[in-house]
């Protein structure tokens, strides 16, 4: 039997400091090979950006959400924020700066897999000084959510201001102060991102021997999680696409399977996961319980095209995990 999407309303505020984009989504039968030209089958412009996506995902599940970020002075800004407003996200701390808004060029193949190139645009303005203008909003968050699509200085400034739980989705992986990564509770990464972060942490820290493999050895997912924990990360969530996720904290390490679904478009599924995770942590769920819900939300998101338009509402029925 499916459980309700969310079992109780979210009371603590989620604040997302992150990117706001317009997504240009092109559908193709398959992805082109290097040097190859293909004919696309359709193109659509949709709101996106990892920060905005995660804010919409959390708000649609009942969280009180505020977004700190920037849009440009171009005509795309209103398109970029349309579904944020529709979801009830507080945009008071979103600045409008001269120049273009962020743009993501996304190609989606018939098998649902995607390629993404991001042009930061106004997101490049979300630096330390810009973020500190919203110090009160950030400090008041029960859960602060950060990602890698804004400058490292902006991420570091937000992390210093946080008084609540810090969720760091280090995607894409950018160079950050070790102290920021070690505040993540949890650090949310996929297997490729986990390997990059672990390599960087090992260069800066002296991890304990438990769960740590030799440098240069390709690590299994559970070993990556153990390695990050051994380096001092308080908790880790490793997303694994159709395989679900692994979460680890002081309560132990657990593998959470994902529902079996036929993917239409996988773009933005990871952001749906992070938004749901953050919403549930804000209400006081354990990490394991929050991840268990988040894998189902991620599975829901791949069932239709686009990022934000594909995210579930509070009362939507989510795909079930069959064990």
Beta-bridge mates of residue 252: 249
d(CA 136, CA 177): 23
Beta-bridge mates of residue 256: 245
Nearest of 67, 83, 63, 65 to residue 22 by alpha carbon? 83
- Based on C-alpha coordinates, what's the Rg of the chain? 19
Beta-bridge mates of residue 83: none
d(CA 281, CA 258): 19
Run of H or E residues at 229: helix 221-230
- The dihedral through the CA atoms of 264, 51, 273, 60 has a sign that is negative
Nearest of 45, 107, 109 to residue 77 by alpha carbon? 45
DSSP string, 5-28: S-SS---SPEEEE---EEEEEEE-
Catalytic residue (choose from 23, 74, 271, 285): 271
d(CA 92, CA 277): 23
d(CA 149, CA 116): 13
Work out whether strand 236-239 and strand 187-190 pair parallel, antiparallel, or are unpaired.
parallel
282 to 44, 58, 228: CA distances (angstroms): 34, 10, 24
Residue 44 near residue 306 (C-beta atoms within 8 A) = yes
- Identify whether 90 is a catalytic site residue: no
**Catalytic amino acids?**
271
């Amino acid at each position: 039997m499916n459980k309700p999407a969310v079992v109780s309303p979210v009371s603590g505020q989620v604040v997302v400091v992150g990117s706001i984009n317009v997504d240009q989504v092109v559908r193709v039968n398959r992805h082109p090979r290097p040097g190859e030209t293909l004919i696309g089958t359709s193109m659509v412009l949709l709101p996106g950006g990892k920060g905005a996506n995660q804010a919409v995902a959390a708000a649609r599940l009942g969280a009180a959400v505020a977004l700190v970020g920037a849009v440009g002075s171009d005509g795309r800004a209103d398109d970029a924020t349309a579904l944020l407003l529709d979801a009830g996200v507080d945009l008071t701390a979103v600045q409008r700066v001269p120049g273009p808004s962020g743009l993501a060029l996304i190609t989606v193949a018939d098998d649902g897999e995607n390629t993404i190139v991001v042009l930061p645009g106004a997101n490049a303005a979300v630096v330390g000084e810009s973020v500190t203008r919203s110090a009160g909003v950030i400090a008041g968050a029960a859960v602060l959510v950060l990602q890698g699509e804004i400058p490292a200085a902006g991420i570091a400034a937000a992390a210093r201001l946080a008084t609540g739980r810090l969720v760091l989705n280090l995607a894409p992986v950018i160079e950050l102060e070790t102290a920021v990564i070690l505040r993540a509770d949890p650090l949310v990464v996929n297997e490729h991102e986990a390997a990059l972060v672990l390599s960087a942490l090992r260069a800066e820290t002296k991890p304990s021997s438990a769960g740590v493999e030799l440098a240069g050895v390709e690590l299994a997912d559970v070993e990556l999680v153990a390695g990050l924990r051994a380096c001092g990360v308080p908790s880790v969530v490793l997303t694994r696409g159709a395989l679900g996720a692994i979460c680890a904290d002081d309560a132990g390490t657990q593998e959470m399977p994902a529902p079996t679904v036929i993917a239409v478009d996988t773009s933005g599924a990871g952001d749906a996961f992070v938004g749901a995770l953050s919403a549930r942590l804000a209400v006081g769920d354990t990490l394991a319980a929050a991840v268990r819900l988040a894998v189902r939300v991620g599975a829901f998101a791949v069932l239709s095209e686009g990022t934000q338009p594909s995210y579930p509402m509070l009362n939507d029925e989510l795909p079930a995990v069959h064990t």
